[in-house]
Every structure is written in C-alpha cells, then in structure tokens.
C-alpha cells in the first residue's frame, strides 16, 4: 500500500544500522557454534549411544537403557578411587596454595627494599609461564634417584634415597607440591593488589594505638583482605573437579597411577587409548555437569559473602 | 629502644623469608641450566651436585639440536605461535568489541551465549571428534583454529572495550567514519595495553602447547617442541651409555632450549604478563 522504505520495523532498522557489528561478530559466533557448542551436543549424544567409530553418530544405536554408561561407571570400582584422588589432589593444592600465597603477598608488602621485592616477584611469578613438560624435566633432574640434586643431598644426610617417582604415595606429594610451586607467586598477585587497596588510615590508627607491625598485619591487613581470600577460596572450590589434567597427564606413569589417576586422565585413556568413546564421553559429561552446578553454587555463595561484608 | 630492636628483627625476618622464597624458585632453574652446560663426565663425577658449572660446554645443546625433526618441530612451534596468536587476537577483538556496545541488539542473549560454554564443556572426547570431523587432523591449523578464542580472555577484552570513552567513536561517526575504520584506526591504537596482555597469554599458551600435539598429530614434523621434549625426557637413561653426550645433560639442554623464549621475554614484559590476572580479578 504505502512505500515500505523508512517505515520498516524499528528492530530491523536497528539491525541494519548495526550491520557492521554483526559482521564483526560472525566469525566468533561461528567459532563458538562449531568448537564450543557442537562438542557439548555431541557429548550428550555420544554418551547415550553405543558409538560406532567408523560410521560416527549416525551409525550408532541408542543404548538400552540410555543411562547404562553412567550406571556402569557409578557401579564400577574406578568411581570412588577416581573421585577421591581428584578431590584429595585438588583440595590439597587449594589449601596449600592460598595460605602460602597470602604469606608471600604480606612479606612482599612489608619489604622495604624495592630491589629485593622486584627480584622476588620476578622469580616467583616465573614458574607460572613454564610448561608442565619443562617442570617435569626440572623435577626429574632434582628428584631422580640417580644423581637427582635433592636425592643426593638426602643420601648424604641419611644414607638412603627417596623414590619420588616410583612410590605412589610420595608421588602424589610431588604432584601437589610442584603445582604449589608453579602457582603460588601468581596467586599472590591478587593478594598484593588487595593489600595495596587497604585504607592507609587504618594502619595509622593502629600505629597511634601502639600496634607494632606484626599486630597491624594481624588486626588490619588480614581482616581487610579476608573477603578477597575467601572469594578466591570459594571460586577455586567451584573448579574442584579439575585436579590438573595437563600436569598429571605429563608427569604420571603406570607405577604410580593408583594415587594420581583423576577423572580427566581416566577419561583420556578410556576414550583415546581404549577408544571407548561412549563411556568416556559419559564420564566427561558427568564431570562437566557436576562442575557447572558447583560453579553456579559457589558464585552465588561468593556474591552473598561479598554482600554480607559490605 | 626496645621497639626499634623488634622492628629490626622483623625486617630481618621478612628479608630472610623472601630470600628463601626467591631461592626456592631460582635454584631449580639454575640447576637445570648448570647441568645442561656441564660436560657429562664432570656431571657424573659431581654426582648431580651442580648449581654453577665449573667448565662450560655446548655439547648437550649440539646433541639436542640433532634430534630427528628438531628444526621442523621448532618451525612448527614458531609458526603456530606467531600465526596462532595473531589469529587469536583478531578473533577475540572482533567478537569482544561489538559485545561491549551497550546498545547492541540482543546483547543479553549474546552474552549468555558466551557464558554457557564457560559453565559446561563438551569435554576432551567430543572435542576430539569435532576437531577430527572438521578436517584439522595432521595440519598445523589444529594448533590455531580449535583454540581461537578463550572465553576468559574474551571477557577481559570486552571489559576493557566497555571502559573506553564512548565519545571517541561517537565523534568519528559524526565525521562519517565506518565502524570498521573506527575499530581499526581509532580504538585498536589506544588498546595496545590489552592487546599486549592477551597476546602474551595466547602466545605462552601456543608455545607451551602439548596435548594437541599428542592427540591430533602423528606426522613427526608437526609435533610441537613440548612434545619433542617430553619424548626426550622419557628416554631411558641407561640405554645410551655409549653416546658421547648421554641423556641427562641432553635432557636438561632440551628443557632450557624450550623455555628460553619465555625466560628471555618475560622479565621485560612482566607488566603485561601480570596484567591478565588482575583484569580477571577485578571483573570477579
């Protein structure tokens, strides 16, 4: 009836006006669909079928009952071992890293020599950027029973050596402490920033009240940055099922597998070594869903905590 | 007087503990570098007790460079790091910039679209199946395309663009500049701090790439240096007693060789390296 031009739907007009933005978004959206969403959908699909390696999903039959992979996993004896290994390693890493990083941040803040502070910062942040293969090489050179620096020292002191890489229980300690070594400096950056944000008037007031430096750390610094510490703790607990695949995959061996085999390493072996695609997808999906629930819970908790502090 | 005394003791304690923290990080690196430079017979004579090399040789490095396909793998790693990082930055910026526009149509839905894969992931095996079916197996693109955008990096980049003064884009638009011109001519030049920060994050990720090289690639020249190093490290030490530069010093030469770019670049760009974690922390 009337000329449509200029009278188009306001939404369409806005879309036309913003066409350049949508063109910019296009590659990213395509990437997200293919490499982030398709694996989610495929993960759900493969975990309920008997996956046919040659024909792919289309040639695979639905399992009867559809949840048999999940059932098999929960009833198998891997389940409790994998879960407890994952939780032990993950929680040990969290509970060791946070206090040590906090201590390091406080020490760096209390240090009056700028040169020493810079030096220690550079050195302690560095391991974060080294790959796990490099760190594995370092551990190997330090801890090996033949000519490992640490073991040579231990032998000189006690007369015997410690089997760091072959004793399953000691090896779990190697996994935990090498991760602490790698991440403490990096974690301390957050706490440094939190300490730098503490109101200087508080320190002055404490000083006037006769508090020494130890007391001002205890009564001013720690309470002021506690919210940040608790927030990092809570957020890390949301990722508690990620016990460090990249690290353990590189460092473990069959002799010590019993104590360091986590959900992710088991999924890798089941899927890409034994080619049981369905079962490993199901376990991966299980882990992902639990993680999602944890992360959402934990974020709510962190928000509540922050709200209750202010 | 008493107070001053305790102050001094406190300072001394702080310095002592910090020095220990520094040494705990320094000694392993120093030891590895020293071993890699030490002649093997001396390494054996001193039983691994080496922090400073008394005599220096590059034999272990010469031997490491002779590893089969080392040059090709080095090139693979360099090319995937350079091209991959450039691609990462381009993809991330192109997606983050529009998402930072407050009046973008469907902005809420798009942000949810980005958030969901941060909460739930397909996991290793389905990702493997997708990468395989998109034809990237055994190509260098497998290091570049599947990890093109890290959600975390996208979020901090978006946060940076949100804080940029809107007036800049607005006045350019008045002058008739297109959105692409505004992004590449005006916004990017003032966004160099964030580009450097995310570039380093992606770059380190590429240089340290290991898993993709193990699961997606079986052509030896397409392995990354990390994969080569892992293989060298797992080689049995006793098996090579008759070789002139046996494995232990060779292994440590490999460790140093693969981490040199990071050790050399990092102290100079520390500011940009550490910015990544702070931007994320502020965002919560």
Residues A66-118 pLDDT 10s: 999 999 999 999 999 999 999 999 999 999 999 999 999 999 999 999 999 99
pLDDT of residue B2: 54
Residues B5-62: pLDDT tens digits? Answer: 888 899 999 999 999 999 999 999 999 999 999 998 888 888 878 888 888 999 999 9
Chain A contacts of B49, Cβ < 8 Å? 149, 152-153
| All structural domains of chain A with their residue ranges | 10-68, 76-309
Interface subset of A 34-93, CB within 8 angstroms of B: 34-43, 46, 56
DSSP state of A241: T
pLDDT of residue B284: 40
The complex's ipTM works out to 0.92
Interface check A310 vs B, CB under 8 A: no
Can you say how many angstroms the Cα of residue A248 is from the centroid of all Cα atoms in its chain? Answer: 13
Residues A107-161: pLDDT tens digits? Answer: 999 999 999 999 999 999 999 999 999 999 999 999 998 889 999 999 999 999 9
Q: Which phi and psi angles does B235 have, rounded to 5°?
A: -70, 135
Question: Looking at the domain covering A76-309, what would its CATH class be?
Answer: mainly alpha
From B228, which residue of chain A is nearest by alpha-carbon distance? A133
User: Out of A176-190, B101-115, B134-148, B228-242, which region has the weakest mean confidence (pLDDT)?
Assistant: B228-242
Chain B contacts of A186, Cβ < 8 Å? 277
Residues in chain B: 284
Interface test with A, best of B32, B122, B207 (most A CBs within 10 A): B122
**pLDDT at A3 > cutoff 60:** no
* Look-up of token digits 């690196």: B29
Confidence of residue A235 (pLDDT cuts 50, 70, 90): confident
Element (H, E) at A117: helix A114-125
Confidence of residue B184 (pLDDT cuts 50, 70, 90): very high
* CATH of the structural domain B64-284, one choice from 1.10.3720.10, 3.40.1690.10, 2.30.130.10, 3.40.50.300: 1.10.3720.10
Chain B contacts of A213, Cβ < 8 Å? 7, 10
Interface test with A, best of B25, B84, B103, B123 (most A CBs within 10 A): B123
**Do B51 and B27 meet the contact criterion of CB atoms below 8 Å apart?**
yes
Q: Could you tell me the two tokens for B61? A: 């490095």
Instruction: Give the mean pLDDT of B145-158.
Output: 95
- The minimum CA-CA distance between B274 and chain A, rounded to whole Å, is 8
Where helices occur in chain B by DSSP H, the ranges are 2-37, 40-45, 59-65, 70-99, 107-119, 124-133, 151-163, 166-174, 179-181, 192-207, 211-215, 225-234, 247-265, 270-283
pLDDT of residue A308: 56
pLDDT of residue B235: 80
Confidence of residue B1 (pLDDT cuts 50, 70, 90): very low
Selected residue with higher pLDDT from A179 and B177: A179
Selected residue with higher pLDDT from A213 and B206: B206
Element (H, E) at A83: helix A78-110
* Look-up of token digits 């993680």: A291
Interface check A141 vs B, CB under 8 A: yes
**pLDDT at B276 > cutoff 70:** yes
Asked if B104's CB is within 8 angstroms of A18's CB, the reply is yes
Instruction: Give the mean pLDDT of A290-299.
Output: 92
Interface check A263 vs B, CB under 8 A: no
Share of chain A above pLDDT 70, in %: 96
| All structural domains of chain B with their residue ranges | 1-57, 64-284
Across chain A, mean pLDDT equals 92
């Amino acid at each position: 009836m009337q000329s449509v031009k200029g009278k188009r739907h306001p939404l369409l007009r806005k879309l036309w006006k913003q066409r350049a933005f949508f063109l910019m978004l296009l590659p990213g959206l395509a990437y997200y669909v293919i490499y982030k969403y398709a694996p989610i959908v495929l993960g759900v699909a493969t975990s309920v079928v008997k996956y046919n390696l040659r024909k792919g999903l289309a040639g695979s039959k639905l399992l009867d009952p559809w949840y048999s992979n999940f059932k098999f996993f929960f009833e198998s004896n891997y389940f409790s071992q994998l879960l407890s290994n994952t939780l032990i390693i993950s929680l040990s890493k969290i509970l060791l890293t946070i206090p040590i990083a906090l201590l390091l941040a406080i020490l760096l803040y209390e240090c009056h020599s700028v040169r020493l502070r810079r030096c220690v910062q550079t050195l302690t942040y560095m391991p974060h950027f080294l790959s796990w293969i490099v760190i594995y090489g370092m551990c190997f050179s330090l801890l090996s029973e033949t000519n490992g620096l640490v073991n040579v020292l231990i032998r000189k002191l006690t007369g015997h050596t410690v089997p760091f890489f072959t004793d399953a229980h000691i090896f779990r300690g190697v996994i935990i402490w090498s991760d602490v070594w790698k991440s403490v400096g990096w974690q301390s950056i957050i706490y440094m920033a939190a300490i730098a944000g503490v109101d200087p008037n508080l320190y002055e007031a404490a000083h006037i009240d006769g508090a020494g430096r130890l007391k001002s750390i205890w009564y001013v610094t720690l309470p002021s940055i506690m919210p940040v510490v608790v927030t990092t703790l809570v957020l890390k607990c949301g990722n508690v099922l990620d016990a460090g695949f990249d690290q353990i995959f590189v460092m473990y061996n069959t002799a010590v597998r019993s104590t360091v085999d986590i959900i992710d390493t088991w999924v890798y072996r089941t899927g890409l070594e034994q080619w049981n695609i369905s079962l490993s997808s199901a376990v991966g999906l299980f882990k992902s869903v639990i993680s999602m629930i944890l992360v959402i819970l934990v974020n709510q908790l962190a928000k509540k905590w922050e709200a209750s502090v202010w | 007087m008493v107070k001053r005394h305790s102050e001094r003791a406190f300072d001394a304690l702080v310095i002592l503990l910090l020095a220990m923290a520094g040494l705990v990080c320094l000694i392993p690196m120093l030891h590895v570098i020293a071993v890699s430079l030490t002649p093997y017979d001396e390494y054996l004579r001193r039983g691994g007790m080496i922090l400073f090399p008394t005599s220096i040789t590059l034999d272990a490095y010469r031997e490491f460079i002779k590893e089969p396909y080392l040059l090709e793998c080095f090139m693979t790693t360099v090319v995937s790091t350079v091209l991959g990082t450039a691609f990462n930055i381009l993809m991330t910026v192109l997606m983050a910039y529009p998402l930072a526009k407050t009046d973008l149509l469907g902005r809420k839905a798009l942000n949810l679209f980005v958030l969901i894969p941060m909460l739930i992931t397909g996991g290793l095996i389905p990702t493997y199946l997708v990468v395989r079916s998109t034809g990237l197996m055994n190509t260098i693109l497998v290091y570049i395309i599947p990890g093109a955008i890290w959600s975390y990096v996208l979020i901090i980049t978006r946060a940076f663009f949100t804080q940029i003064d809107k007036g800049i884009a607005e006045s350019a638009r008045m002058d008739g500049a297109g959105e692409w011109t505004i992004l590449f001519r005006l916004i990017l030049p003032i966004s160099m701090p964030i580009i450097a920060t995310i570039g380093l994050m992606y770059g380190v990720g590429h240089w340290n790439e290991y898993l993709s090289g193990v699961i997606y690639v079986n052509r030896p020249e397409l392995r990354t240096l990390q994969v080569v190093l892992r293989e060298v490290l797992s080689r049995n030490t006793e098996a090579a007693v008759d070789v002139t530069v046996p494995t232990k010093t060779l292994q440590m030469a490999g460790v140093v060789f693969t981490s040199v770019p990071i050790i050399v670049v990092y102290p100079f760009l520390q500011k940009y390296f550490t910015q990544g974690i702070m931007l994320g922390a502020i965002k919560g």
